[in-house]
Structure 1
Amino acid sequence: MELQSALTLFGTFGLLMALGVPVAFAIGIGAAVTFLAFMSFDQSMFIVAQQMASGLDSFTLLAIPFFILAGNIMNRGGIALRLIDFAKVLGGRLPGALAHCNVLANMMFGAISGSAVASAAAVGGVMAPLQKKEGYDPNFSAAVNITSCPTGLLIPPSTTFIVFSLITNGTSVAALFVAGYLPGILMGLGLMLVAGVMAKARGYPVAAKPSWTEIRRKALDAVLPLGLIVIVMGGIVSGVFTATEASAAAVVYTLFLALVWYREISVKDLPAIILEATITTSIVLLMIGCSIAMSKAMAFADIPYTISDILLSLSENPLVLLLIINLLLLVVGTFMDMTPALLIFTPIFLPVVTGLGMDPVHFGVMMTLNLCIGICSPPVGSALFIGCSVGKTTIAGVLRPMLPFYAVLIVLLMVITYVPDISLTLPRLFLGYGS
C-alpha cells in the first residue's frame, strides 16, 4: 500500500506540475487523489479539508500577513533609496563600489522587507542604471543583485523561518530568527569578496571619498528604517513580545515612518497596499494549507520513514548523509520555489537529520540557505527572473558571471552544514537555547 500511495501522490503531483497547474493546486489535488485511492470520496475530501483548516489554525501564522504588510509599506515608503544611499557610504571605497553597495542594500532592505523578490526589484531597479552609467557590465550587475537578494531570507525577520517553525511543530521562531544572523552576514560578505575580486579584475571604479557630513547625514537617514530590525529582534530576544506580536509592531512602525515621518505615502494609498498584501498572504496560506494536507498523505504512505530508511541504507556516516540531503535539495531548488519546497521536503528530511543528532534550528538555517541558492538558479528561480528583468539582461547572459557567486554560496552552505556553532552560538548566547 505504501508504494502505491507514494506513486499516486508524486505521480499526480508531477503530472499536474508538467501540465502547468499552479503549485498549490497540484499539491492539494495530489493529496486528495492519494486518499481517494484507498477511501471514499467523502472521507478523502473531509480529511483534506480538515488538515488544511487545522494546519492554518495557528497563532504563529498570524505573523506572515503582518510581516508581508510591513514589507509592502516599506517598499512604497521610500525606504529603499535611503538604505541604498547608506550602503554607498559603507562600500564606496572598495573596488567595484556599486557592486558592494548592491549587496549591502539587499542585506538591509531584504531583512526589512523579508522578500528576496521585493529586494531584487527595489534595489536592482535603482542600482542597475547607476552601474550602467559607471561602465559596469549589465550581466555582472544583475549577477550581484540576483545572488545577494536572498540574504534577507536568512537575516530576520523572515517569513521562511515562520513557515519552518509551523512545519516542525513548534521549533522556536525566536531561535530561528537569531540563528539566521551570522549565516546571512557571512553570505553577504562572501558575495562581496567575489564581487570585489571580479570588479578589480575588470577595472571598475572606486567611488569618491565621502565627507564626514555626508556620512553622518546618510547614516541618520538610515537609522529609522534599520530601527525596525532593532524593535522586532530586540522585543523578541528580551521577551517583550512574541514573533507574532513583533510583526504587528512592525506594521505600526512602518506606517509611522511612511505616513508621518517621510510622508512618502498617504492614507488613500493604504487600500491598494493592503490589497496587495492580502493577495500575497492568500497565496502563501493556500500553499501552506495544501502542503499540510500533502504532509498527511505522505505520512499515510510512510514516505518520510521510507526515504529515511533508503538514506540510512546508503551510508551511516552523518557527513555523507548531510551531503546527499544538500545535493537533493539543491536539485529540488532549481525547479521548485522556496515555500513549496520547504513545505514538502522538511517533513521528509527532518526525521533523518534529527536521527543524526542535528538540531532543528541548525537544519532550518541549512535548508533555507540551500533553497536560497535555488531561487537564484534556472529554470524557475524567481529571483533570477526578477533580477534579469530589472537589470535589462537575459538568463543566458547572466549565468556565466554568476558562476563564481554560486561557488562561494556552495562553499558557505557546506561550512554552515558541518559547523553547527555558526547557526547555534547566538541562540545559545541570547536565548539560552538548548541549555
Structure 2
Amino acid sequence: MTSLILFGSLTLFLLMSIPIGIAIGLASLFTILYSNVIPLDFLVQGLVTSVDSFPLMAVPFFILAGEIMGRGGVSDRLFRVANSIVGNVTGGFAIATIFTCMFFAAISGSGPATVAAVGGIMIPAMVRQGYDIKFSTALVAASGSLGVIIPPSIPMVIYGVTGSVSIGNMFIAGILPGIVVGLGLAVYAYYYSKKKGYSGTGIKFSLKNVGKETWEAKWALFIPFIILGGIYGGIFTPTEAAVVAVIYGLFAGVIIYRELGFRDLPQVLADSALTTATVLIIVGSATAFGRLLNLEQIPSRIAEGLLTISENKIVIILLIAVLLLIVGCFMETIASIIILTPILLPIGISLGYDPIHFGIFMIVGLAIGFITPPLGVNLFVGSGISGVSIESLSKAILPFFIVMVVTLLIIIFIPQLSLLLIG
C-alpha cells in the first residue's frame, strides 16, 4: 500500500502540472505521513545530505560555464568552423548546425542550454537559407540532446554520484556514443535536405578558409581539450574542471572575444543560479524519494519482476530501454537518474553490463526524453525561439526520434563504443 501511495501521489502531482522537484518532494512527504513509521526528519535530512557532496559541486559550475560561453560568442565561432568544413555539401547548413551543437555540448553539459545557445543563432539563419522552420527547430532540439551525452555532462555527474561510478570515466565513455548520435542526425539531415532540394552554401571547400575559421575559433575549440585533458591526465577532478571551465569562459568571453561585458555578468549569474536551484531541489527531493524506494524494497522487487519476465538478456535490456524512453517522456532526466539508477544498475550488472557502459546507455535513453512530449524540454526551448507550436514541433521531431532510438540500440549492443577510450 505504501508503494501505491508513493507512486500514486507522484502521478497525481505530475498530472496537476506541479514542478517535478516539488512533486517528488510532496509524494515523499505524503508517504511518510501515511506510513507513520518514518520520522519527518528523514525527508529534511535527505534534502540536505544529498546535495552535501563535493562531486555535485561540478553541477552549478558547469551550468555557469554554459551560460557564460553561450553569451560570450563561443557558439557563433563554433558554427563558422563547422560551416567551413561541410557548408558546401547538400544540407551543409543543417549538418553544420548539428556539428555546432556537438561542439557546444562539449562545453555546456546541458541539453536545453545547447538548444538556447545554438538555436538562437542557427534557427533564424537556417530559415534565411530557405530551410523549413519546423525542420530547423526540430533539428536543433534533437541536436541539443547531445548536451548531456557528449562530456562534460551534468547527468553523468549525477549518475556517477548515485551509482558510485567514476565521473571521469563516464566523461571519457560519452565521447564516441555522442559522436555516433551526432552522425546519425547528420545522415538524416543530409537525406531530408537532398529530398527537399536544400543545397549547400555555394562556397567551395578550402583548407585555407577552414584554417582561418579554426584559428579565429581556437579559444573556443580549446575548451573541451582543457576540460577532458585535465581530467583524464589527472591534473584536476571533474569538479575542479568545472571551475576551470568557468574561469576560461570568462577569459574568452570578456577579454578575448569581448562579447560578454561586466554589465552582463549579474544576469548570467542570476540565470545560472536559478537553473542550479532548480536542479538541486530535484536532486534533494529525488534522493529522499529513492531512499523511500529502498526502504520499501521496491528496487529489488522490480528487478526480480523484470528477471522473471524472461531469461533472455536481450529481451530484458530492450525492456529497460523501453522503460527509459517512457520515463523520459514524463520525468526530468536528473530525477530519473537518481530514482532509476539504484533499481536498474544492479540488473544491468547481473546481465554482465559494465557500470560505465550501462550508465551511458541510461543517459542516452533518457536524453531522448528531451524531445518527447509532454515534458520535452528541448521542444519548449526550440518553440520559444522559433514560434513553432509544440504540436507541430512534436510531429516534425518524429524522424529525429527514430534516428536517436536506432543509435541507442547501436550503443546498447556495441559496448566498445563506450569502453574503448577508457582502456
Q: Decide: shared fold, TM above 0.5.
A: yes
Letter aligned with residue 193 of structure 2: A
Between the aligned partners of 1:414 and 1:242, the Cα distance in structure 2 is 31
Alignment pair present for 1:290 and 2:285: yes
Q: Is the 8 A contact 2:371 2:378 kept in 1?
A: yes
Q: Is the 8 A contact 1:51 1:293 kept in 2?
A: yes
Q: Is the 8 A contact 1:132 1:138 kept in 2?
A: yes
Q: Is the 8 A contact 2:20 2:332 kept in 1?
A: no
Alignment pair present for 1:264 and 2:253: no
Alignment pair present for 1:242 and 2:240: no
Three-state SS of the structure 1 residue aligned to 2:204 is: coil
Which of the residues 282, 294, 297 maps onto 1:299?
294
Q: Is the 8 A contact 2:85 2:205 kept in 1?
A: no
Partner of 2:350: 355
Q: Deviations over 1:321-363 (max 9, x none)?
A: 0000111111111122212222222222122111212111111
Between the aligned partners of 1:174 and 1:288, the Cα distance in structure 2 is 20
Which of the residues 16, 33, 57 maps onto 2:52?
57
1:189 Cα shift? 0.5
Between the aligned partners of 1:50 and 1:395, the Cα distance in structure 2 is 39
Letter aligned with residue 6 of structure 1: S
Partner of 1:431: none
Q: Deviations over 1:288-328 (max 9, x none)?
A: 01111001100111110110111011011111100001111
Between the aligned partners of 1:70 and 1:400, the Cα distance in structure 2 is 33
Between the aligned partners of 1:54 and 1:211, the Cα distance in structure 2 is 55
Three-state SS of the structure 1 residue aligned to 2:180 is: helix
Between the aligned partners of 2:42 and 2:293, the Cα distance in structure 1 is 13
Between the aligned partners of 2:4 and 2:392, the Cα distance in structure 1 is 39
Partner of 1:392: 387
| Larger deviation, residues 52-61 vs 287-296 | 52-61
Q: Is the 8 A contact 1:112 1:226 kept in 2?
A: no
Letter aligned with residue 159 of structure 2: F
Which of the residues 11, 15, 20 maps onto 1:14?
11
Which of the residues 273, 276, 279 maps onto 2:274?
279
Partner of 1:189: 183
Three-state SS of the structure 2 residue aligned to 1:17 is: helix
1:211 Cα shift? 4.3
Q: Deviations over 1:236-255 (max 9, x none)?
A: 11101111111111111111
Partner of 1:432: none
Alignment pair present for 1:143 and 2:102: no
Three-state SS of the structure 2 residue aligned to 1:334 is: helix
Partner of 1:203: 197
Partner of 1:322: 317
Q: Deviations over 1:8-65 (max 9, x none)?
A: 111111111122222111111211222222336xx52111111222221211011111
Q: Is the 8 A contact 1:304 1:351 kept in 2?
A: no
Which of the residues 165, 169, 172 maps onto 2:166?
172
1:134 Cα shift? 2.1
Q: Which structure 2 residues correspond to residues 108-119 of structure 1 after superposition, within 5 A? A: 108-119=103-114
Between the aligned partners of 1:134 and 1:261, the Cα distance in structure 2 is 30
Q: Is the 8 A contact 1:388 1:395 kept in 2?
A: yes
Letter aligned with residue 383 of structure 1: N
Which of the residues 213, 225, 240 maps onto 1:230?
225
1:141 Cα shift? 1.3
Q: Is the 8 A contact 1:108 1:152 kept in 2?
A: no
Number of aligned positions between the proteins: 422
Letter aligned with residue 148 of structure 1: S
1:210 Cα shift? 4.6
Partner of 1:28: 25
Q: Which structure 2 residues correspond to residues 395-406 of structure 1 after superposition, within 5 A? A: 395-406=390-401
1:391 Cα shift? 2.8
Partner of 1:154: 149
Q: TM-score, normalised by structure 1?
A: 0.94
Alignment pair present for 1:101 and 2:96: yes
Q: Is the 8 A contact 1:111 1:157 kept in 2?
A: yes
Between the aligned partners of 1:44 and 1:18, the Cα distance in structure 2 is 28
Q: Deviations over 1:396-416 (max 9, x none)?
A: 333444333222211111111
Three-state SS of the structure 1 residue aligned to 2:40 is: helix
Which of the residues 69, 74, 94 maps onto 1:79?
74
Q: Is the 8 A contact 1:134 1:205 kept in 2?
A: no
Q: Is the 8 A contact 1:138 1:392 kept in 2?
A: no
% identical aligned pairs: 38
Q: Is the 8 A contact 2:95 2:190 kept in 1?
A: yes
User: CA 1:21–1:398 in 2, change beyond 3 Å: closer, same or farther?
Assistant: closer
Three-state SS of the structure 2 residue aligned to 1:93 is: coil
1:373 Cα shift? 1.1
User: CA 1:71–1:353 in 2, change beyond 3 Å: closer, same or farther?
Assistant: same
Q: Is the 8 A contact 1:70 1:254 kept in 2?
A: yes
Which of the residues 325, 329, 333 maps onto 1:334?
329
